[in-house]
């Protein structure tokens, strides 16, 4: 009987105390995984990303003002998760990982809000069209069907990106 009451209280707290369930379920590792998946999908192509980042196939980058605003909102959600996870009591290596993740978040803020190449640099769009193609071509030949489709997909994305 006592165990059932304790279990009920714990479940109640997990489900009702704001932030507690999120903090208990979230971790720097989960946040990093979610962030890097998001970054691979929405991050700009730059020559310093080759070949460090696997990108999902068939994704067209959209640099319209509406898309950038959506990215900012999603980035703000990552920022909040990152702030909630800050803990000075965890071992130093975990604190370092947490701060490195904060640095990755800061880079996205720098790209979107400080540098703003998507808004003011026409050369940015050349990079966003040609770099993905060049990156796909760095895979050693011969190309299998999947690699060939990815190259064609990136070539076919060029008009939409430039639009």
**Domain identity same for 87 and 130:** no
In a domain, 9, yes or no: no
pLDDT, one tens digit per residue, over 60-100 is 788 989 999 999 999 999 999 999 999 888 899 999 999 99
**With 0-12 CB in 10 A as exposed, 13-18 as middle and 19+ as buried, what is 62?**
middle
pLDDT, one tens digit per residue, over 106-157 is 999 999 999 999 999 999 999 999 988 988 888 888 889 989 999 999 999 9
Count of domains observed in the chain: 2
In a domain, 156, yes or no: yes
Full residue range of the structural domain in which residue 90 is found = 27-37+61-120
Q: How far apart are CA 93 and CA 85, in angstroms?
A: 14
């Amino acid at each position: 009987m006592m165990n059932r009451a304790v279990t009920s209280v714990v479940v109640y707290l997990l489900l009702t105390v704001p932030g507690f369930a999120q903090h208990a379920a979230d971790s720097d590792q989960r946040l990093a995984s979610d962030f890097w998946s998001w970054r691979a999908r929405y991050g700009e192509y730059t020559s310093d990303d080759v070949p460090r980042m696997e990108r999902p196939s068939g994704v067209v980058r959209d640099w319209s003002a509406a898309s950038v605003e959506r990215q900012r909102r999603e980035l703000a959600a990552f920022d909040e998760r990152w702030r909630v996870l800050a803990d000075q009591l965890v071992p130093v290596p975990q604190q370092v990982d947490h701060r490195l993740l904060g640095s990755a978040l800061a880079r996205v803020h720098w790209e979107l809000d400080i540098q703003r190449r998507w808004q003011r640099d026409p050369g940015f769009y050349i990079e966003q069209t040609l770099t993905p193609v060049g990156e796909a071509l760095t895979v050693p030949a011969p190309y299998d069907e999947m690699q060939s489709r990815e190259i064609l997909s990136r070539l076919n994305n060029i008009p939409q990106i430039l639009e």
